[in-house]
Each structure stands twice: as structure tokens, then as C-alpha cells.
Amino acid sequence: MTEKITPIAIEDKMRESYLNYSLSVIASRALPDVRDGLKPVHRRILYAAREISLFYNKPHKKSARVVGEVLGKYHPHGDAAVYAAMVRMAQHFNQRYQLIDGHGNFGSIDGDSAAAMRYTEVRLTELAESILSDINLNTVDFTDNFDGSLQEPVILPSRIPNLLVNGASGIAVGMSTDIPPHNINETIDALLHLLKHPNARLETLMKYLPGPDFPTGAQIMGNNGIIDAYKTGKGKIILRAKTKIEKKGKKTNIIITEIPYQLNKSRLIEEIADLVNSGKIDGISDLRDETDQEGIRVVIELKANTDTELILNRLYKYSSMQTSYRINMLALVGQKPLTMNLRTILQHFIDFRRKVITRRTKHKLEKATMRHHILEGLIKAIDKMDLVISIIRNSQSTSEARKNLINKLKISQEQATAILEMQLQRLVGMETEKLLAEAKDLAVDIKTYQAILNNQDKLDDLLKDELNETKNRFSDKRRTEIIADEKKAQISEEDLIKDKDAIITFSYRQNIKRTNSKEYARTSKKDYITTVLKGSSLDPLLFFTNTGDVYTIPIHNIEEHHGLSTGESIKKYLKIPLKEKIVNIICLNEEIKQQYITITTKNGMVKKTAAKEYFTNYNSIKAINLKKKDEVVDVFISDGNQEIMLATKAGQTIRFNEKSVNDTGRNTMGKIGIKLEKNDSIVSSNLLNDNDFIIAISTSGKAKRTAIKEYKVQKRNGKGLKTCGSKIHQMSAVLSVPQDKYILIVSSDERLFPVTVKDITETQRDGNMFQLIDLNENEEITGAYILPVYNENNPE
């Protein structure tokens, strides 16, 4: 015999082998069946336990006995895998409704392993027996086991909607399933409603089945993830530990009473301890586990005067006290994996139970019909007993007697066989009456079975009765609370911060300080506070730069200092390019939301934008769209009804109403504020107040003070008015300042000159300027700031 070799590409062989492996894993190992909600290993464990009579009302037997039965007869895999699957079916914290009743150590919610199978004992639970009920009534198909020596069920005729009730999880090849457990009452209520209303909407079904119900309780935060999962088969829900607050004297304790599903309690406690040790969560003085047989009790002891809600929010944010659970309702439908919505899963179970009831009824009808037929023969034989005895006595063999009975009594072979096997005690009158009564009852049963098989409504009535019976037997209360408010699941940055008043100071030397003290005016030597802002630790600070960019720092990120501290360099908190410099800082609090942020530029542009547009989650945004060679000169808060003054280097000023500038979005250019002559540019912009003076300061150190009324209101986009009669002066700053304020004048040599407004000579708008600062050779005044506070004791 010649050997034939067929060449095949290794890619094709690998593809074929991998596909076969994938299909085997998907259909025979990793995924549950939509009908009984079980994977093959779980199905075999339950069936094997039944075969050795481990019923819920019988004594337990060694786990090793069941594992051996499963391995030897149905499941040729590792004993550890089978035992692990059985252990999980016995764990109250993993199974919403346990299928295995275990004696001994079956592990704990702390992640402890179960004892070896030789030490533990098991038996079926009553609910597991409902999954196996009627299996001997031809309700399901059987197939050969792995070696063809025995038969095993392809599916179990479950009366329990187990796929939803106990859920399932598994990883196949290229797919996985995560079906959460549900409350049996609610699941059956949803089935009953769908049975009555086949076209029921999801919203209606969810009135009966509002969401998953986990064995460990806890809370589901929000409905959106549940709705997505029930509508599409996929979704994500947020699970949160359930807590309560206990107060003992001055001390407050947070008590964790329920934890998210499949969370290791010991690991959670370690997580919290690590967060405390790393300083991510402060305010916790002690942490201990007081869990006992009554339930979970993890005690988090707080320090005195600690904000309990703040600690809880941080625990939810940083620890597994709040976790997400992915739902992927994928199961086998006719050996094919399908992702199904809630209604489809419920409908599959209804269809399955209809088939089970139909097969069971047919089986009972066949048995009842056959028994009734036999009884008719026995009754007929009793009526003609003398003839029967004569036939039997005169027959030479059993077969001859059977043949003669068939011919003489006009009966079937089965009836004749039953007559020959009948005991003489049946001839007693009472026994005869029993046969007649049995035949009568069977006739009623046969009509009932036929009615069920011939009428869909009667079959559904029987299905409803069975569902209600199951519900009454195994009903319990919902454990997992559903919090409808989706927002409560979102832990924002503000939820992690204690809301407290803050004073922010920013100095000329760019030192920033946060304090809640009234003594905030302290600065380092030869430095002055140029900005003082009041807000909350929850508010963001906006740093506007000359390039039109805005950088955001939450106030709580700035380290808090005592009042006498000089603060820290802004470089510690803000990394901005070297070409940019900070023009102004604004604290974006709730009051400012109703106002405007106005920006003026070197080229005379003015832009007004609603402050609420700066409330973003970005660390850096654009505040204005600048033309080439233009830059931001000033930024200030306005209410929309004030007057603005722009001043140029050449000494031109224009005063106009803010209303003439329409508000626009952030990334816009704005409007022209003043028409500039060639080589002129804006040096200052101001919001005007009636009692202010206009202080003009030249680059040469001269200055003057003028009443604001001398600067008449004009229309925007004009050339403006002169602020000085002489053309030789170049302006370094033109400020609108109250008389009791100090101005900080800055020179090119980095010298700082604090002067009071009262010390500046008052003249008319077109009057001369007077020397205020004596400058060194080639030194110029480069700018001026209005000091919000002035500390006369500041060291020089």
C-alpha cells in the first residue's frame, strides 16, 4: 500500500486548528447557555450530584466524591478546575443564589482559598434541584459522554431563569461575557409581564426588573449604564460601597457595611491604608476590620474636626470603594454566541420553558395513555376472569396464552402481557375498585395533557403557575440599592477639596501666596503686592499672558501659608514659555460668572467676553485671537455698563462706554478701541470710577494728577484727547486711581518707587507734568501698578 502525502500550507493548518480550538472553547467551556444559564462544567457538577442523590434534604458528602464523579464520567479536565467551579457555586458572596450547599471552609470575601476537597462536603441546594427538576421526564436531550459509555444532558430543564438570576462571567477566544446577577422576584415578575405582553417595551420591563442585584449588596450609582446594557446588551455601571456614619462622643467613624461585587475586602483595607500612609487621604486616625457572622463592618476612624463627606469622596475617588462593572450579556443560542438585550434573554427563557413543558406533557401523556390502555385490559380480564383462567390453564406456553388472550378478548399484546403478569391479589374487590378509580383519574389526566398540548393559552397558564410557585419558594429582598441620580456617581475635583475661604496675593516679583489670614500683605525685601484676590479653595485662578493665552490653577493646588509668609515663586505652579509674561490674574468665582472679562491690546483692540466662557476643564486656553506683532496689555473684570479709558505711549487717551463693545466668544479679535498714529501703541487701559484721578506718568519720571471729569466721554474708535500739553513726553503709564491709593512705579534698572496719589501734583488735562522720580543716566520708567495694599513697614 503506497503512502499518499498531501501538502498543506502551515498558515492554513494553523488557521484551521485555531478555529477548531476557538469553537471548542466558546461552545464547550467558557460561555453559558441562554436557556439554563450554565457552562458545561457547572451543568455536569449539578447532574453528577443528582446522580449520586446529593439532594438538599439528604446528608452532605465529600466534595472529592462529586469531583471524582464529574471527572470520571463527564468532564475530562483537571480536578482543580472542577473543584474551583464547585466552590464558587457554594460561595454566598459570589452567587446571588447558591447552587451548592457546602460544609466546611469554602473561602472568604477576603480572598482566602477553600480547603482541599477531601475536607469539605457538599450537596445540592433546593434551588439547584429546581434547575434539575423533571430531567427524567424526557424534557431535554441527552448525548454521549466523552467516551461514549454514558449519557449526559445537553441542557438542564431549569425552572429558574438562572442566566439572569446568578449571572455569568467568562473569557472565550476573542470574546467574553459579564452578566450580572439579579433578584429572582424581579426577574420572574418581568417574565410574567412579558408572557402576558409579548411586545412589552424595555421601560415597562424595567419597572419590574430595575437593575442587577449583587450578592454583596452595595449601591449602583445611576440608571444610564443599566439602560444601555438592557437595551443593547452592553453597558457599564458604577458600584459603590455602602457606608454609615457613627458618632461616639467627639469622634466620628465611617463604617463600611457592604462592598462592590467581586471586591476583595482585605485588599480594599490595604488600599485605604496605603492612601493614608502616602498622604493622599488625611484625616483618618485608625482603620480596622470588625467583620463577623452578622456581616461586613470595616471601621474608618476619623480625626477630630474632619470633614466626613470630603473623606468619603476621596475614598470613592481613589480606592475600590467605588468601582465600575462592565456588562456584556453574551451567551450561547443554539451553540452560537450572541450579545442580547434584556427582552431577548427573557424571551429565550420563556420559549425554552414552553418547550420543556411541551416535552414533559407529551411524555406524561404517553405514559398515562399507555397505563390507561393497560388498565382497560386488566379491567376487561377481571370482568371475564373465568375465561382468562381457562385460556391460561389450557395454553401450553406463555406465548400461546398471550396469543389466545389477544384473540378471545380482542385486546392488544401489551394488555395481554399485563394480564399474564397480574398478581392474584388484584382479584380482590377492593383492588378492582382501585383499578377502576385509577383508570378514571388517568382519563382526566389524559384530557388535561391533551388540552395543554392543543392550547397555547393553557400551556402558558401552566408556565405562569410554575413561575409563581418558584417565586414564592425562593423569593427574597433586593440587596443592591439603585441610586437614580447619575451625578452622585461623578466625583469631581471639587468633591475632593474642603471648601474654605482663601486670600491670594501676587507680587511684582511674581511670588504667589495663599492664606486665610488678614495679615496677608507681607512680602519679601524690595517687593510689593500688586494683586489681591479673595475666593474659595474650589475656585480656579486664571493667569492671562501677553500672548493671549490663559493658564488655570485651582486655588487648592496652591500651598497655604500663614500671613507672615512671603509666598513662593509662581514658577513652582505654572510652567509658561519664556516669551510670555503674566499680565493679570483673575479669580473665577460664582459672582464673576454674571460679568465680563475685558481684554485690551497693544494695537488698540478691545474685546469683551462673558466670564462664564472661561469655566472649562482645560489647563490652558486661548483668550483672544491676536494679529501679528500685537499683544495683550491689560485684562480686567467689568459689569458691561462701565467706562473704559485707553492711553497710548504718545499721550493720547480715549474714554468710551463699555456698551459700545459687543461681547464675543473667547477666540475672537474684538473691536478697535482707538485709532493709533504710526509707531504709537497702548500702554495702559482702565475701568473708570467717578471719584478717581487720572495719573499720567512719563518715561522720564515726570507725573501729574488730573480730575477725571476733564477727560470727556467720546465714541469708541476715535483718535482721543491729549493727556499732556507737551509733545516731548512719552507715557509709560496712565492710571485711574483713587486719591488714597499708592502707586508702584518701576524703572528700567528694576528700581521700585511706591508713591501716594496725594503726592503727585494736580494739573489740568493738557497741563504740564512735574518731576516725581529722580532717575539715573539712561534709566527710564517702564511701568506703574496700583497697589491694592501698602505695607509701610515692608523692609527695604
Are 471 and 200 within 8 A, CB to CB? no
Separation of alpha carbons 724 and 650, rounded Å: 10
119, 208, 318, 618: the catalytic one is: 119
Give the orientation angle of helix 398-409 with respect to helix 385-394, to 10 degrees. Answer: 140
Cα of 493 vs its chain's centroid, Å: 17
Query: Exposed e or buried b for every residue in 350-370, given b needs 16+ CB within 10 A?
Result: bebbbebbebbbbbbbeebbe
Residue-by-residue DSSP string for 269-305: HHHHHHHHHTTSS-SEEEEEE--BTTB--EEEEEPTT
Residue-by-residue DSSP string for 767-783: S--EE-S---TT--EEE
Give the orientation angle of helix 398-409 with respect to helix 413-421, to 10 degrees. Answer: 120
Separation of alpha carbons 154 and 43, rounded Å: 9
Cβ neighbours of residue 709 under 8 Å, at least 6 residues apart?
none
Q: What is the DSSP letter of 652?
A: E
Secondary structure class of 531 (helix, strand, coil) = strand
In the chain the first and final C-alpha atoms are separated, in Å, by 112
Separation of alpha carbons 746 and 743, rounded Å: 10
Are 281 and 315 within 8 A, CB to CB? yes
Are 702 and 789 within 8 A, CB to CB? no
Residue-by-residue DSSP string for 469-490: HHHHHH-----SEEE--GGGG-
Grid coordinates representing 778 are: 539712561
Position of cell 431549569?
158
Separation of alpha carbons 594 and 663, rounded Å: 13
Q: Say if residue 21 is exposed, middle or buried (CB neighbours under 10 Å; 0-12, 13-18, 19+).
A: exposed
Q: Say if residue 46 is exposed, middle or buried (CB neighbours under 10 Å; 0-12, 13-18, 19+).
A: buried
Query: Which amino acid, residue 611?
Result: A
Separation of alpha carbons 199 and 228, rounded Å: 19
Strands 731-737, 742-747: pairing is: unpaired
Cβ neighbours of residue 547 under 8 Å, at least 6 residues apart?
579, 580, 626, 631, 632
Active site residue 21: no
Enumerate the active-site residues: 119
